[in-house]
Amino acid sequence: RRAAFYSDNPVGGFPADPSALSTMSDPPPPWSDSKVQSEFRLDYQPIVSLVDGKISAFEALVRWLHPQRGMISPVEFIPLAEETGLITSLGWWILREACCQLRAWQESFPQAIPVTMVVNLSAIQLMQLRVKEQIQLILHETGVDSRYLKLEITESGLMENVDATIELLEQLKALGIQLSIDDFGTGYSSLGRLHYLPVDTLKIDQSFIRRTTFEEESWEIVQTIITLAHNLNMTVVAEGVETPEQLARLKYLGCDYGQGYLFAKPLSSANATTLLMTNPQW
Ligand code: C2E
Ligand code: MG
Ligand code: MG
Ligand code: MG
């Protein structure tokens, strides 16, 4: 299946060094700006406050609409982009696009309570040189206030390289950016180190929430993560909320935010804009 990804690449394989992209000319390489702009787009899924039922944030989720193969899931192509190093150029495009969308919303709805834009960052992206400068540049160019940007890093990605990452995270926090640990509970965190991480939010992996439907004991895990987050002065988001029963229980357990199909699936920019306009309350 890997070969299928390479087959339409005119240069015969993803270049390992993304800077090589700039030296290639006609026909365009797979992750050139024009390709990214024509085949990739972002969907936006709301994150809802379980206290007042209002939209608190949107998470940007990348989609690849391949001209021949149709929609390809990020679960398939993000690992490939990470292996080849191309996550760097794709990842900065994603951040810029999400910030542009946030700015557009802020301009269209100046009276609304400001929402936060949540953007997933790959651990590979964090290992690049001048990450902080790149993020600062994108914030500056798009006119987004750092307070309304939240970067999400998976627990496994974070823990792989915790000492190197911690300093960078401190720098990002100093800029005013919010930080969140994604897929929490699946990545074997060193619990002893969790409180050193300058992180605002833990996001409970959706597998735990899903399991609660057929395994009552899974609520114990969810409850423990909620308590852990609060003891560390972090907020907590439940991912993959699909049923009213799950929502009721999460509220009862004091979970701060929820995200999932019960509220909304990831939406196109236009549909997310419509949703914002209706100012829903769940
Ligand atoms: P994630 O960041 O944990 O995103 C949550 C995933 O769960 C999304 O899948 C979302 O559509 C899905 N989801 C949300 N609510 C529900 C629900 O109620 N039920 C079910 N069954 N699923 C739900 P998606 O969009 O396919 O993304 C999958 C993963 O791909 C993401 O997991 C993230 O790790 C990665 N990804 C997506 N976009 C980006 C990106 O822009 N950059 C990076 N580095 N990774 C991304
Ligand atoms: Mg995420
Ligand atoms: Mg997640
Ligand atoms: Mg996930």
pLDDT digits (tens, 9 = 90+) for 181-206: 999 988 766 777 888 899 999 999 99
Instruction: Check if the beta carbon of residue 241 is closer than 8 Å to that of residue 209.
Output: yes
Residue-wise pLDDT for 151-171, tens only, equals 999 988 887 778 888 999 999
pTM: 0.89
Instruction: Check if the beta carbon of residue 48 is closer than 8 Å to that of residue 282.
Output: yes
According to the model, what pLDDT value does residue 34 have?
67
According to the model, what pLDDT value does residue 51 have?
97
- Sequence-ordered strand ranges (E) for 36-120: 40-49, 55-66, 70-72, 116-120
Packed helices 87-108 and 269-278: angle between N→C axes, nearest 10 degrees = 30
Q: Ligand 1 pocket, 255 CB below 6 A?
A: no
According to the model, what pLDDT value does residue 189 have?
67
Element (H, E) at 273: helix 269-278
What is the ipTM for the molecules in this complex? 0.97
CA–centroid distance, 226 to ligand 3, in Å, is 15
Could you tell me the mean pLDDT of each successive run of 10 residues in the chain, 282 residues long? 33 37 44 72 98 97 94 94 92 97 94 92 89 97 98 87 87 97 84 87 96 93 96 97 97 98 98 96 96
Q: Ligand 1 pocket, 122 CB below 6 A?
A: yes
Q: Look up residue 246 and give its amino acid.
A: Q
Instruction: Check if the beta carbon of residue 199 is closer than 8 Å to that of residue 157.
Output: no
Q: Look up residue 135 and give its amino acid.
A: I
Ligand nearest to the CA of 203: 3
